[in-house]
Amino acid sequence: MHVLTGLCDGTLDRPDAVCVADRTLSGEALLGAGRAVAADVAGAGVVAIHATPTLETVVAMVGALAAGVTVVPVPPDSGVAERAHLLGDSGAELLLRTGPDALPPSGVPEVPVDVARRSAVAPPPADPDRLAMIMYTSGTTGAPKGVMLSGAALAAGIDALAAAWAWTPADVLVHGLPLFHVHGLVLGLLGPLRIGSPLRHTGRPHPRRYAAAQGTLYFGVPTVWSRVAAEPSAARALARARLLVSGSAPLPVPVFERLWALTGHRPVERYGMTETLITVSGRADGERRAGHVGLPVDGVVTRLVHDDGAELPRDGVSIGELQVRGPMLSSGYWRRPDATAASRTVDGWLRTGDVAAIGADGWHRIVGRASTDLIKSGGYRIGAGEVEDALLAHPAVREAAVVGVPDDDLGQQVTAYVVADGVSARELAGFVGEHLSAHKRPRRIHFVQRLPRNAMGKVQKTLLT
């Protein structure tokens, strides 16, 4: 059965099709358990899944997608108000419970998931063009919006990455990412099910668990890779892998270089968002460049646009908003035609809201979000990521985040927040000045104990200023 209507045939005969935190299901068992869940939710329109990092969540996802219902992943750490918004806004009719304890009352009937149940009755094939999933954004600019993803879009996104990464049933995927984001859920769960490669989810992305998993393909966010690089014995164990992939946030150049030194692998970076899935990536058989996310995947075209709407040159220097087209793009925002219209240009491109530069050879470098990472200071357009990389190159700096703070004279002032030991603000500003143009040097540097990050390791810059 197709991954988006059940389980890929390639995993059916595997005794270790899916392993989550040392609990394993064979392909046959996963198929039978998923069919039991499909029977539970048959006839519903929208079904929410409490997306814990468990086998129960895997079975729930397989079953709900097999039944052809629309799935809404609910983060397990969501508060009462956030959960109420996701369930109410989506119109969820059922909530699949993947843990032993009842959830706080939400008004939505709960259905517990039991991985020991089996059914031999296959649901009818689902329409690939149906609304397969509503994934909610992080809500950094208001209440979370539901991103509508069809079965066809999910399949196109996975297939494009399979081609880029030479991902086959012979691979064994390892990761410990949350199962409610694109990275961990679409790439990290639906991906191996569609392709037919076993999945070993480590429960938590601890370096030693990654090292012990003995996979060929590893997924991680920069925070995970930074921790792996900080444990040389764990990192060296990954030398046996075929490919290391980093995403969800920019991988700092020093982490890229340390992983390369310890594992012999240059990590593949890729770029995407909930609204687009993955549209740009490095290739398994191609070059990997630190600080760059590669080339558009199959079926995707990109362009850079200035604030005034003019298309920018591909010279590796000009930075502007990245706009994309491709078969894996979402169909818009759930019950938000206003937001859907605002996210598209009149000629059909999706506005990512991210700032990038594209070289003459097509390689993409992501600067960051237009709202927080494009700094306009003294008439210059400065990418926060470039300044962050320069700060991270200093041996005393462990973490860095750069933002633009309103300034009466400059418009915005380049301001840095760093986690560092034994170095002064003046020394760091001078260090950046040795590597970058003078106008990119931080005017103010704040030393902090840690940077605020979300579940995927992205720095929440709105909490810094």
Q: Is residue 177 within 8 Å of 220, Cβ to Cβ?
A: yes
Asked if 317 and 449 sit in the same domain, the reply is no
pLDDT at 233: 96
The CATH number for 380's domain is 3.30.300.30
- Give pLDDT tens digits for 366-407: 987 777 777 888 777 787 887 888 898 899 999 899 988 888
Say how far apart CA 387 and CA 369 lie, in whole Å: 14
Q: Single out the residue of 389, 408, 375 nearest to residue 291, CA to CA.
A: 389
Asked if 356 and 379 sit in the same domain, the reply is no
Per DSSP (E only), the strands in 130-267 are: 131-136, 146-150, 173-175, 199-201, 217-220, 243-246
pLDDT at 277: 97
How far lies 96's CA from each of 50, 63, 138, 148, 307, in Å? Answer: 6, 10, 21, 20, 44
Asked if 321 and 386 sit in the same domain, the reply is no
Question: Order of strands, edge to edge, in the sheet holding 320-325?
Answer: 301-305, 320-325, 350-358, 364-369
Q: With a cut of 70, list the residues of the chain below it in pLDDT.
A: 1-11, 139-142, 455-456
Asked if 397 and 263 sit in the same domain, the reply is no
Say how far apart CA 285 and CA 13 lie, in whole Å: 29
Asked if 344 and 425 sit in the same domain, the reply is no
pLDDT at 1: 45
Q: Report which DSSP code applies to 363.
A: -
Domain count, the chain: 2
Task: State the residue range of the domain holding 438.
Answer: 374-463
- Give pLDDT tens digits for 185-228: 999 999 999 999 999 999 999 999 999 999 999 999 988 999 99
Last residue of a domain, one of 329, 353, 368: 368
Asked if 354 and 414 sit in the same domain, the reply is no
Asked if 364 and 378 sit in the same domain, the reply is no
Asked if 416 and 354 sit in the same domain, the reply is no
